[in-house]
Amino acid sequence: MTSVKLEDCSQSLGLNIIKYEEEEEKNGFVIKDEEEERNIDDLTTGNQDEIAGIYTSPTAVEQQQEDDKDNNSHPCPHCDKYFLSVSLLKRHINIHTGEKPYSCSDCGKSFSLLGNLTSHQHTHTGQKLYSCSDCGMSFALSKTLKNHQRIHTGEKPYSCSDCGKSFSQLGNLTSHQRIHTGEKLYSCSDCGKSFAYFKTLKYHQHTHTGEKPYSCSDCGKSFSVLGNLKSHQRTHTGGKPYSCFDCGKSFSHLHHLKYHQHTHTGEKPYSCSDCGKSFAYRSNLKRHKRTHT
């Protein structure tokens, strides 16, 4: 009796297996040979070494991309980034297209991102949200604060590939490199003379306009160049920031120091075109020339 029941069960089980295999065949999951069957059995019995060999783990970049795809459903058509919403995607695409839909109502300057416009507007309102923890100085833009902080840290991350000189600001490096290239981007509209630096052009233009915007608070004398005003102010303060390395004598003007150094080197760079006699100082050459006239 018992053997009949077991036989019935085995037949029933056999029918179930056949049905299961038929169902798998319909769904395209048929195991075609014994080798494939062994591989599948290995995977299901916890053979981790073979699993690791078959399924290599994704790189950090690939994993990040997969996470982005899972969490963000809006891909950028220009790069591999994904975004949570259509509005964020549109804002990002402006970087690729160059579109600048956000304009400043004060000066008309345009920006691709609303946040950049908001930061820019602080330059008009005078609002300075970013303060230096070392000196307390405040700035309207965070990037200006970062640039300023290099004064305290002494960091100079921008180096000249020609001479190795380093700078704390990228703009200063760019300007410096014109010394090596001889590039002069800024031309005077009045005489056509060109300059490597914009501020030098502005100073030059004062020679055409006669403008002297820099005035001495002590005597009222005006100057076309800020550096000339600073030099002049030393006549009032008595400041002598330029010292001779040879004898320690100090001077209020750099050119006075250079003239003085000729007394140590014996250099006489100023020559008379009439007789060839040389002088250490330009003023002595001028005085000498009167003897020829």
Residue 64 clears pLDDT 60, i.e. is over it: no
Half-sphere exposure of 145 (CA within 13 A, CB side): 16
Any idea what DSSP says for residue 246? T
Q: Does the reported pTM lie above 0.85? A: no
* Contact indicator for 204, 192 with CB cutoff of 8 Å: no
User: How many residues can be counted in the chain?
Assistant: 293
Query: Into which CATH architecture does domain 242-289 fall?
Result: 2-Layer Sandwich (3.30)
In whole angstroms, what is the distance from residue 225 CA to residue 214 CA? Answer: 7
**Worst-scoring range by mean pLDDT, 16-25, 67-76, 102-111?**
16-25
Tell me the pLDDT tens digit for each residue of 21-34. 444 444 444 434 44
Residue 204 clears pLDDT 70, i.e. is over it: yes
Tell me the pLDDT tens digit for each residue of 208-249. 999 999 999 999 999 988 888 988 998 899 888 888 999 999
CA distances, 258 to each of 261, 263, 269 (Å): 5, 10, 11
Instruction: Give me the pLDDT at residue 40, please.
Output: 34
Q: Would 70-127 and 242-289 be classified into the same CATH topology? A: yes
Instruction: Give me the pLDDT at residue 121, please.
Output: 81
Report the share of the chain in percent with pLDDT over 70. 75
What integer best gives the mean pLDDT of the chain? 77
Torsion angle defined by CA atoms of residues 151, 154, 159 and 164, in that order, rounded to the nearest 10 degrees: 120
In whole angstroms, what is the distance from residue 48 CA to residue 42 CA? Answer: 9
Residue 291 clears pLDDT 60, i.e. is over it: yes
What CATH code would you report for 70-127? 3.30.160.60
Per-domain residue ranges for the chain? 70-127, 242-289
Burial 146-174 (b: 16+ CB within 10 A, else e): ebbbeeeeeeeebeeeeeeeebbeeeebe
